[in-house]
Amino acid sequence: MSNIEGTFRGFNDSVIHYRGWEPEGDPQAVLVLVHGYAEHSGRYAHVADYFVNEGYAVYALDHRGHGQSAGRRGYFERFQFLVDDLDTFFGLVRQRAPGRTVFLVGHSMGGLLAAAYAIRHPGKVDGLVLSGAGVRVGEDVSPLLRAMSGVISALLPRMGVTQLEAAAISRDPQVVARYDSDPLNYRGKVPARVGAEMLKTARWVMREAHTITCPALIMHGTADKLADPAGSQELYEAISSSDKTLKLWDGLYHEIFNEPEKEQVLAFVRDWLARQTSRRF
């Protein structure tokens, strides 16, 4: 396995950091990991390692305002900027692995972003894997964010309106401790503009979800308090994919790739991907 890191210019010339994990020889397919809000691509190294060992090439970017990318920490003006950054990155990935099947694997806000990308760029995505997609706000997210972020966003876009609770990400205390101590994670409050943009995008994705036709695996922990599992159920029912799977993981928290049962989750994704790639050859 070889690791790569670099930067590219995203929307408005913003410097976006990315990394990749590549197997020896040609990959059987490519995964583009799309991380969630307030975290960074490095938190998915264990996921990448798992799938590189299965013969996949894996690439991930840090969203603007996240990780090692440029921008005010935890902030972006428009959700569409993230979609545009991802599109540029998608082109770079296609150059590194021409002709290969490419799956978008998105978690939380990254799941919302992956779905939005599939809607905005039909035909570019060969398959979607969504984990705890942020298409509906969970019960632990401040009602202020839901009720007033739009109003505050127009007047005080950078004002923090709610704090995400780290303990809600995983039942593994070591995962929570590492999350809290990671300097590349954003631990401030969610700015009003960011909250408003995510809520607006979630509504738009649900309206346009019927246009998604690529194979899709939608997963969610039933004990997720940050992103409502009902949102994944609704998304599953709304998309028009003829090949779609909904997997609800009983009792798991928000980050199903970081739960004590993560090996079961990864194996489930592996088997789903294997079925998809076998149908293409």
Residue 260: half-sphere exposure toward Cβ, Cα within 13 Å: 6
Catalytic residue among 84, 85, 224, 228: 224
What DSSP string runs through 22-41?
E-SS--SEEEEEE--TT--G
139: exposed, middle or buried (Cβ count in 10 Å: 0-12, 13-18, 19+): exposed
**Tokens 């704090």 map to which residue?**
163
Cα dihedral value 220, 170, 224, 198, nearest 10: -90
CB 56 within 8 A of CB 30: yes
108 flagged as catalytic: yes
Catalytic residue among 108, 170, 232, 241: 108
Sign of CA dihedral 35, 40, 42, 46: negative
Q: How many CB atoms lie within 10 A of CB 142?
A: 17
Q: How many CB atoms lie within 10 A of CB 8?
A: 16
What DSSP string runs through 166-200?
GGGS-S-HHHHHHHHH-TTS--SPEEHHHHHHHHH
13 flagged as catalytic: no
Residues in the chain: 281
Sign of CA dihedral 1, 255, 192, 234: positive
220 flagged as catalytic: no
Active-site residue set: 108, 224, 254
